[in-house]
Chains A and B, each alone.
Chain A
């Protein structure tokens, strides 16, 4: 069975946009800063070519196409999760101590979200068609959760992401949450075309966000140096916190 002409045209436009984005990323030397994101773009472009060839050979409704499609979706999910980690690292790693603190926190959070996903999917029948929607939803939610947690760290410690990193992160988060929502709606709507349309539109919006990210030349890399020694943090920070706590106690006393 062939896809409608409109779907094929959309496929071609998306593939061209992905290729243009990859060229832009290459021109901006993004690989020196966010290598996993560039790998992700390269895999996207290669996948479009490979999937189109497969579509021409076996058709859209064949089992081979189904497994190939969902197999690559799994790969993209993994790559997006790695890009989220890379985004958090690129923002926080200049602050050595903060990044060291954030890493185990993010890992722990990822494990908790994964556990929650597995628990929520325990009653799902063990066949691929039933497992894919909740599985993809859970993994997309893990990506969104980790992204928000990482960015919350940045905001708490008053670290601003560079504009291009911010747009890339926004595109990732936006696409993931819409994908997760879309997969929740699929069994309810039972309408594959609508599901596919929403998924494609969210990805197209993410692509536009990434084009915005790379449209202007990237700012020069900043190198920061760490000032305080461990002994100074150990001495200064508890003192400041103790004073803050004491101040709170005084405020609380007003209520007694």
Chain B
């Protein structure tokens, strides 16, 4: 048993080391200058009005009364595709926010272990939920009102963070920030 584990480790560990040291970063962070930190703000949630329109039940009711089943089916398929892309966009927003949190941590003199653990847990949790949500969308069983709430949530988050970042960026030139660490 030990021999099998060690043989496996002898293959896996060098591969892990190569990935940790030379592997591409999954998230390609936009180049952030002292005054450009707003690039990390959520952007996809700004399309909320258009998405809300797609989520509206009225359209479906209208089409169900007027259009053929074939057209209705095609319309649902298209809507599902749009929603899928939108949820992917929200995931990108989430990724940006975690990058922001890490940036704050990197630029701080002392980190709180509980706080960092919280961030790690939130990130892992999100990744799991995101994959499950995408699966559910693929099965076309996503409750649309919930997606609407999610969108509102990200939109509100973006607004609050914008206020926070405005405060941060105002301080950065004074401190001679080097974000390229």
Contacts and interface: CB of A to CB of B under 8 A. Distances in A.
Contact of B17 (A169, A184, A244): A169
B151 to A, nearest CB: 9
Contact of B14 (A101, A161, A174, A227): A174
B53 interface: no
A117 B25 CA distance: 33
Q: Is the contact region of chain B dominated by helix, strand, or loop, or is it mixed?
A: helix
A135 interface: no
Contact of A225 (B7, B10, B171, B177): B177
B13 A173 contact: yes
Interface in A215-256: 222, 224-230, 232-234, 236-241, 243-248, 250-255
A144 to B, nearest CB: 6
A240 B17 contact: no
Query: What interface size band does chain A fall in?
Result: 35 or more
Contacts of A177: 9-10, 13-14
A248 B154 CA distance: 11
Interface in B134-159: 136, 142-143, 146-147, 149-150, 153-154, 157
Nearest to A239: B164
A53 interface: no
Interface in A129-168: 137, 144, 147-148, 151-152, 154-161, 166
Contact of B122 (A144, A228, A241, A254): A241
Given A158-B29, A225-B178, A227-B172, A254 B146 contact: yes
A110 interface: no
Contact of A97 (B21, B106, B125, B129): B106
Contacts of B36: none
Interface in A153-211: 154-161, 166, 169-170, 173-174, 177-178, 180-181, 184-185, 188
A181 B164 contact: no
A94 interface: yes
A170 B18 contact: yes
Nearest to A185: B3
A245 B118 contact: yes
B56 interface: no
B67 interface: no
A146 B132 CA distance: 33
B108 A226 contact: yes
B181 to A, nearest CB: 5
Contacts of B178: 224-225
21 contacts: A96-B110, A97-B106, A97-B109, A101-B111, A152-B20, A170-B17, A170-B18, A180-B9, A188-B3, A225-B176, A226-B107, A227-B177, A233-B108, A234-B112, A237-B105, A240-B100, A246-B153, A247-B126, A248-B126, A250-B149, A251-B126
Instruction: Give 4 nearest A-B pairs by CB, closest first.
Output: A233-B108, A151-B20, A251-B129, A244-B122
Given A227-B177, A228-B168, A248-B126, 8 more contacts: A97-B111, A137-B6, A181-B9, A224-B178, A233-B110, A240-B101, A245-B122, A247-B150
Interface of B: 2-3, 6-7, 9-10, 13-14, 16-18, 20-23, 25, 27, 29, 94, 97-102, 104-113, 115-116, 118-120, 122-123, 125-126, 129-130, 132-133, 136, 142-143, 146-147, 149-150, 153-154, 157, 160-161, 164, 168, 171-172, 175-178, 181
